[in-house]
């Protein structure tokens, strides 16, 4: 209970004291002065407020999200506010976790449905594309050094591109079982960098491995997780190459609790705010028509999730983009039973 005029606290329950402390004025319960002004403004017309969201101040000075309800009464000739405040910290944390899990489930359902469709399309296209590519090679041999050779080359290149797209669809659609073993992240990164370096050198983009220190082994399918790292490095190289902004892509890792955190960062053009929420969607791509299928990051998401890990775009306004993923470290009681 507090007076409207000066905010003086008349009565405070033990629970309120535990949450808010023993300040003499209710003004100190609001993190922002305008919140109290809005609260009183909403209260006066009807002498009541229900479920108003404000930022409160704990007894130790920490801010917290709160739900505020109140009634205006006459108490011994004074206008007095009788209010109830609820700490929403845990409730909002639970809601955020539920939203995250719903989003993951929705993403998994989309990938599953899309995978079935892509598998069907890929299988239907595979045979005719193989025939086109094969005959293009035969024609190239038969018509070598002829006026038609250039056209045959274009035909062969287009067919090979279609075949690569079909294979990328199949890789996303296939639910390949993980061959889990104890592996070192440094080995996976070295293999990935070797695979990407020719394209990076051609684009004049430097690849930097910032962490060379040994780390605890991880529980992973080395082939599939290496492909994830290759995709992330390649995306950074292509972003710099296509935009002409930036010059380097880096990768580093740290052990944190029971997880290994891997970060791939570039100093390229970055990712605009309006598409940040879509980058892991299947078939979504920012690349020009004919240069991307939108499968890469969706594939990375599926593989990392299959490893009981997470992958996300780091927030922030720093130059470029940073993709982070986490995978479990090998527990001590697993070391003796896992294949090397």
Question: pLDDT (tens digit, 9 = 90+) per residue, 27-86?
Answer: 999 998 888 889 989 999 999 999 999 999 999 999 999 999 999 999 888 899 999 999
Q: Which of 29, 60, 87 is the last residue of a domain?
A: 87
Count the neighbouring beta carbons within 10 Å of the beta carbon of residue 323. 25
Residues 218 and 313 grouped into a single domain? yes
> How much is the pLDDT for 332?
54
120: domain range?
Answer: 89-175
Mean pLDDT within 271-296: 64
Q: Which of 175, 209, 228 is the last residue of a domain?
A: 175
Residues 232 and 114 grouped into a single domain? no
Residues 211 and 293 grouped into a single domain? yes
Mean pLDDT within 10-25: 92
> How much is the pLDDT for 251?
95
- Cα separation of 222 and 130, whole Å? 30
* Total tally of structural domains belonging to the chain: 3
Residues 279 and 331 grouped into a single domain? yes
CATH number for the domain including 81? 3.30.450.20
Residues 24 and 162 grouped into a single domain? no
Q: Is the pLDDT of residue 290 over 50?
A: no
> How much is the pLDDT for 277?
74
> How much is the pLDDT for 29?
92
> How much is the pLDDT for 168?
59
Return the closest-CA partner of residue 6 out of 23, 20, 26, 22. 26
Q: Which of 54, 87, 120 is the last residue of a domain?
A: 87
As a whole-number percent, the residues of the chain with pLDDT over 70 amount to: 84
Residues 167 and 191 grouped into a single domain? no
> How much is the pLDDT for 80?
92
Q: Return mean pLDDT, the chain.
A: 83
CATH number for the domain including 152? 1.10.287
Residues 233 and 108 grouped into a single domain? no
Residues 117 and 169 grouped into a single domain? yes
Residues 108 and 124 grouped into a single domain? yes
Residues 149 and 195 grouped into a single domain? no
CATH number for the domain including 283? 3.30.565.10
Residues 168 and 304 grouped into a single domain? no
Residues 340 and 191 grouped into a single domain? yes
At residue 256 the predicted structure's pLDDT band, cuts being 50, 70 and 90, is: confident
């Amino acid at each position: 209970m507090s007076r409207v005029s000066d905010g003086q606290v008349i009565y405070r329950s033990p629970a309120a004291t535990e949450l808010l402390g023993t300040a003499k004025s209710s003004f100190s319960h609001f993190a922002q002065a305008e919140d109290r002004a809005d609260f009183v403004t909403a209260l006066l017309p009807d002498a009541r407020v229900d479920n108003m969201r404000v930022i409160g101040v704990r007894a130790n000075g920490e801010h917290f999200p709160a739900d505020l309800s109140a009634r205006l009464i006459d108490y011994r000739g004074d206008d007095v506010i009788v209010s109830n405040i609820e700490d929403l910290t845990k409730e909002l944390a639970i809601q955020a976790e539920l939203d995250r899990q719903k989003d993951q489930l929705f993403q998994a359902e989309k990938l599953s449905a899309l995978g079935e469709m892509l598998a069907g399309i890929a299988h239907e296209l595979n045979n005719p594309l193989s025939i086109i590519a094969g005959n293009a090679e035969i024609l190239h041999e038969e018509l070598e050094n002829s006026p038609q050779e250039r056209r045959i080359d274009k035909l062969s290149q287009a067919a090979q591109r279609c075949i690569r797209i079909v294979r990328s669809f199949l890789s996303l659609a296939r639910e390949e079982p993980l061959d889990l073993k104890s592996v070192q992240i440094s080995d996976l990164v070295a293999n990935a960098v070797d695979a990407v370096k020719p394209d990076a050198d051609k684009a004049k983009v430097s690849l930097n491995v910032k962490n060379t220190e040994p780390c605890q082994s991880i529980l992973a399918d080395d082939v599939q997780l290496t492909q994830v790292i290759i995709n992330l490095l390649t995306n950074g190289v292509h972003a710099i190459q296509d935009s002409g902004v930036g010059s380097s892509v880096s990768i580093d890792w740290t052990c944190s609790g029971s997880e290994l955190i891997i970060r791939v960062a570039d100093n390229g053009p970055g990712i605009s705010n309006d598409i940040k929420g879509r980058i892991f969607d299947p078939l979504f791509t920012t690349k020009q028509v004919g240069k991307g299928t939108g499968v890469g990051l969706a594939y990375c998401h599926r593989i990392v999730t299959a490893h009981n890990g997470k992958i996300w775009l780091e927030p922030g306004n720093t130059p470029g983009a940073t993709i982070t993923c986490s995978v479990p470290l090998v527990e001590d009681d697993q070391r003796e039973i896992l294949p090397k």
